[in-house]
Structure formats: C-alpha cells, structure tokens
Amino acid sequence: MKTLTADVVVIGSGPSGLSAAAQASEDGAKVVVFEKANVSGGAANMGMGPLGIGTKHQQDMMVDIDVKSAFKEFMEYTHWRSDARMVKKYFENSADTIKWLEESCGVEFAGAYKYFPKSHETWHIVAVNGGIGRNGGAIMNKHIREYAEENGTEFLMETPAKKIVKSDDGKICAVIGTDASGEEVRCDCKAVVIATGGCGDNPQMIKERTGYEFQKNMFNFAIPGLKGDGIKMAAEAGAGTTPMNVEMMYILPNSDAGPDCIPAVFMQPNLLVNKLGQRFIDEEQMQNTTFTGNAISFQKDAIAFSIIDSKIAKYYMKKGVDVVNFVHHPDDVADFAEAVDNSIANDNPDVVKADTIEELAEKLGVDAEALQDTIDEYNDMCETGDNLFYKPSKYMRPIEKAPFYAAKFRPGAYGTLGGIKINEDAQVLTQEWEKVPGLFAAGTDTCTIYGDSYMFLMPGNTMGYCINTGRFAGSSAAEYAQED
Ligand SMILES: Cc1cc2nc3c(=O)[nH]c(=O)nc-3n(C[C@H](O)[C@H](O)[C@H](O)COP(=O)(O)OP(=O)(O)OC[C@H]3O[C@@H](n4cnc5c(N)ncnc54)[C@H](O)[C@@H]3O)c2cc1C
C-alpha cells in the first residue's frame, strides 16, 4: 500500500473539488486530491462559466442586479424551500469568487451574459481565444488546478477514493483509494472534502433517489465515473441525506454531436405538441430549458414534438432564428434543410420530414386527426392571437406549407443535484443536524438550493454554486485541520 499524509484530502476535482483544493492550500493547508478520471474538471469541462452577482463585469455592462434583489427573487422562486443562509452566502461571495478566479487563478472572462431573453446577465462566460466560445469551463478548470498546484496541492489522478476512515474517537483520519495499477493508496489526514459530482452515470441510483428512469423519461448527460461515490461514502461516514433532483433541461437525445442548426431551429418558439397531438406550453418558454423539460416530463411518454413548415424553415435560413443563445448558436442555420436531410439519411430518429400532416403524424406516432385539429386551431390563432396559452403574436407562425419538419424532444439533465446534508460553511451534518467532525462537502453532491426546479433565470448557477461552496469547504477544512 502507498501511504501519504495531508491536512486536507479532497475527493474529486471538478470545479467544486478544484476550488476546495485551491482555497485550502491558499489558506496554508497541505492538500492531496484523489481524482477518479485521468483529467480534472469533471462535467464543467463541457460548460461555459459560473454565476456572479455584483461583479465588475456587470458594472461595466450596466447590468442592474445586486445581491439583495437576486436573493429576494431566488427565494420567491424556490418558495423558500431552500437553505436561505446558504443562498445568501453564495450570492454574497459570488463577486469575490469571480475576482479570485481572475486575479488569483488567472481566468479571463468575456463578460456577464443572459442565457435567454428573460434571464439575468449572471452568466460569466470564460473567454475562449479572447471571445465567446464553447467549453471555456475546461480553461477555467485548468487555471484553478494550476493555482492549487502552485500552492502545493498534490493530485493523484486515476485514483478513485473508496473509503473515508474514522479513528476510534469518531474523527476523520484517512482516505483510501486505488491507483491505476490496482495498488491501494492511503492518505492520512485531518479533514476531508467530498466533491464527486453526483450520480449522473448511475441509472439505478437516479431511479431510487429521483424517480426518473434513464432512457425512458430521463435522457441526462451520463458523464463517465459520476456514480454517486461521494454520496455513498458520506453516508457511511455518518452524513445525513437530502432529497435529490436533476438539473432539468430538454434534449434531442441522438443529435447532440450533430450540426447546431438543428437544435437552434427546433428550439425556437414554434408549435410544440405532445403525443396526443395537443399543445401543452406557451412555446416562448422553450428558451428556458428547465421549464420546458419540466413540462415535457409531464406529458404522455415524456416526449414532445416541435413542428415547423417549410416557410418557417426558409425564413430562419434566410434571416436567422428568432431567439439566440450561446449554446445553440444560430449563425449557420442556412444549412438547416440540408442538415435535416443528412440526419434522416443517417437514421437519426430525432428528426422527421413529411409532405403531408398525415404522414408527419404517422412518423411521430401521433393521431393524425388530433394533430390536424391542433394545427387548424393554431393556424387560426396565428391571426386572432393565442387564446390558449397567450404566446406573444410575434412567435405565432402558421404551419401550412410542405414539406413539414419535426424534432422529438425528451427531458434531459446536466446532472443530479443533492445527496449530502451540509450547512452554509459546507460542514457535513448528520440526519440530526450535528456536524460530522472533519467532514466537508461541496458542489452538486450537496446542491439542494433550487427547490423543485433548477434556477435557470440566473444562469451559471450550478458552476457558481460549485465553485463558491468549494471555496467555503476548502477554507472550513483548512481551518479545522490547522486548529491544533
Ligand atoms: C454540457 C454541460 C454544460 C454545462 N454548462 C454549465 C455552465 O455553463 N454553467 C454552469 O453553471 N453549469 C454548467 N454545467 C453544470 C456544471 O458543469 C456542473 O454542475 C459542475 O461541473 C458540477 O461540479 P462538481 O465539481 O460538483 O462535479 P463534477 O464537475 O461532476 O466533478 C466531479 C469529479 O469527481 C470525480 N470523482 C467521482 N467519483 C470519484 C471518486 N470516487 N474518487 C475521486 N474522484 C471522483 C469525477 O471524475 C469528476 O472529476 C454544465 C454541465 C454540462 C454537462
């Protein structure tokens, strides 16, 4: 067995583990990180940036949001089914964290942005080649890791932690893992921070803890290795458990790697129907991926069909889409029709094209008469106004001209939320709300602040929560470990 010693062991090196390690080592603790994968960064390597409130970027861009207004809006949104002390501390520290990422870690931000028109400009997008690009999260993670290493943090890659060891007096005393060669690694320590990112890659645990069934009514990102290890190890070490949820969105399950123009067009606020051929949402909400994911998950077989006609397609191909966002960037929707043909030729089951409504209904598995009735009613409302769900008239475009196009949306999730009970200092609590001495946790393993639905009106929220709670956990753990 290989043995090491540290003040603080961090388990997992996504944004929460990296921030915990960087903060604890900045605070003078000797830190060792156990990481299961061969790269650090976790799910955030695919993301674009964290939330900040009251930052200099917002001041520069004259964005009118402060901690007080954000806190009030957030707590009303969650109906106060949330840890108010944690929300307050997270928001209050978020501007300092953006500054810390810039000044201490060397991260560069392109600015503070909305995700969709009705959201706030809280999303601090990491600059990619000096501007906006995808996967800036990976750049940010690299910088946080370098800063942690500069402060003396040691990373054990491909070394999943298996067990948190307690001494006879109930105090945390070590973490045991296994390295890539199969050799056991033990790191004696005084404090542990758990930050393993939830259980997105564990369908059984998702079903048990959230009720969703993978590939049936939930098509979440299953990032390899996110098996719920930290949640299980915490429970074994005495942690209380919290309700769990998913970070809801909606998705074309087979089209993620395809051209952006397909989701960019089908996520526009056009006709969206369920398997009964009925509308079920004011489609303006389609830019709020949480609300739309929620609504789809309530429908028969948890599926919805976005339908446009060739006139709408041509309009978008010529003029661009109605609503833009940085994730499904619409610049190249000019090749939409060609991309759909290619997708269908490649047997992509998410996308459908038909010459008649009857044929479209058959391909979607929807009753043709019901779909025709909905389309007739919808087309009438394009003239008179949407008296069903009050969608703004500017988005009411009739479905008239063949060929017709449709895409099959399903509920999805960026990952799971919650599992380990903590307080606002990221100290792990038992079911009886007592502190487990020396045990701390951060990130999505602990995140229950959104109530029943992810708060997408303030984008960057999960990464923001992860980095801020990572810093809280890092400083609490360093302080605890250096007490005597
Ligand atoms: C496509 C995509 C885009 C996103 N974009 C954004 C965005 O722009 N803004 C935003 O706010 N959020 C975004 N998110 C969500 C955000 O990335 C996650 O909420 C965040 O990464 C969670 O951080 P974490 O540190 O808690 O866990 P993770 O990032 O999942 O990291 C967990 C780490 O723990 C490791 N691990 C697991 N088990 C063990 C073990 N037993 N021992 C050691 N290590 C272990 C894993 O290998 C992993 O490296 C996005 C998510 C996805 C999937």
Q: Provide the pLDDT for residue 331.
A: 67
pLDDT at position 237 over 70: yes
* pLDDT score recorded for residue 306: 98
- Comparing CA positions, the residue from 91, 87, 206, 76 lying closest to residue 449 is 87
Residue 286: count of CB within 10 angstroms of its CB: 24
Measured by CA distance, the residue closest to atom 14 of ligand 1 is 47
Atom of ligand 1 nearest to the CA of 48: 8
Q: What spacing in Å lies between the alpha carbon of 43 and ligand 1's midpoint?
A: 3
| pTM exceeds 0.85, yes or no | yes
Mean pLDDT, residues 153-157 taken together = 98
pLDDT band at 329 (very low <50, low <70, confident <90, very high): low
- Is 446 touching ligand 1 by the criterion CB < 6 Å? no
pLDDT-based confidence at residue 258 (cuts at 50, 70, 90): confident
Q: How high is the pLDDT of residue 183? A: 97
Residue 269 beta carbon below 6 angstroms from any ligand 1 atom: no
Q: Is the pLDDT of residue 210 over 80?
A: yes
Would you say residue 484 has pLDDT above 70?
no
CB 66 within 8 A of CB 91: no
What pLDDT score does 327 carry? 74
* Residue of 144, 174, 117, 118 lying closest to 49 (CA atoms): 144
pLDDT tens digit sequence for 112-140:
999 988 899 999 999 999 888 888 999 99
Confidence of residue 26 (pLDDT cuts 50, 70, 90): very high
| pLDDT for 337 beyond 70 | yes
pLDDT at 18 over 80: yes
Query: What are the domain boundaries of the chain?
Result: 2-244+418-481, 252-412
Q: How would DSSP label each residue in 168-211?
A: TTS-EEEEEEE-TTS-EEEEE-SEEEE-----TT-HHHHHHHH-
Please measure the distance between the N-terminal and C-terminal CA atoms of the chain and give it in whole angstroms.
28
pLDDT > 70 fraction of the chain, expressed in percent and rounded: 99
Percentage of the chain lying above the pLDDT 90 cut: 94
Alpha-carbon distance of 201 to 182, in angstroms, equals 22
pLDDT in tens, 275-303: 999 999 999 999 999 999 999 999 999 99
Output the six-digit token pair for 249: 């969105």
Helices H / strands E in the chain, number of each: 14, 17
Q: What's the rounded Cα separation, in Å, for the pair 412 and 221?
A: 7
- The rounded mean pLDDT for the chain is 96
CA distance 50 to 461: 6
Q: What average pLDDT score do residues 407-415 get?
A: 97
- Indicate whether residue 460 lines ligand 1 (CB < 6 A): yes
Whether residue 160 has its Cβ less than 6 Å from ligand 1: yes
Q: Which fold has domain 252-412?
A: Flavocytochrome C3; Chain A, domain 1 (3.90.700)
Distance 227 CA to ligand 1 centre (A): 12
Q: Does domain 2-244+418-481 have CATH number 3.40.50.300?
A: no
Q: Name the one residue in this structure whose structure tokens are 């966002």.
A: 325
pLDDT average, residue stretch 182-191? 98
State the Cα–Cα distance between residues 189 and 4, nearest whole angstrom. Answer: 9
Contact 228 CB / ligand 1 (< 6 Å)? no
Band of the pLDDT at 219, cuts 50, 70, 90?
A: very high
Query: How sure is the predictor about 332, in pLDDT bands with cuts at 50, 70 and 90?
Result: confident
Q: Is 83 left (phi over 0), alpha (psi -120 to 50) or beta?
A: beta
Q: Contact 101/140 with Cβ under 8 angstroms?
A: yes
| Atom of ligand 1 minimally distant from the CA of 196 | 34
Q: 51-77 pLDDT, tens per residue?
A: 999 999 999 999 989 999 999 999 999
Cross-strand partners of 123:
51, 113
pLDDT band at 330 (very low <50, low <70, confident <90, very high): low
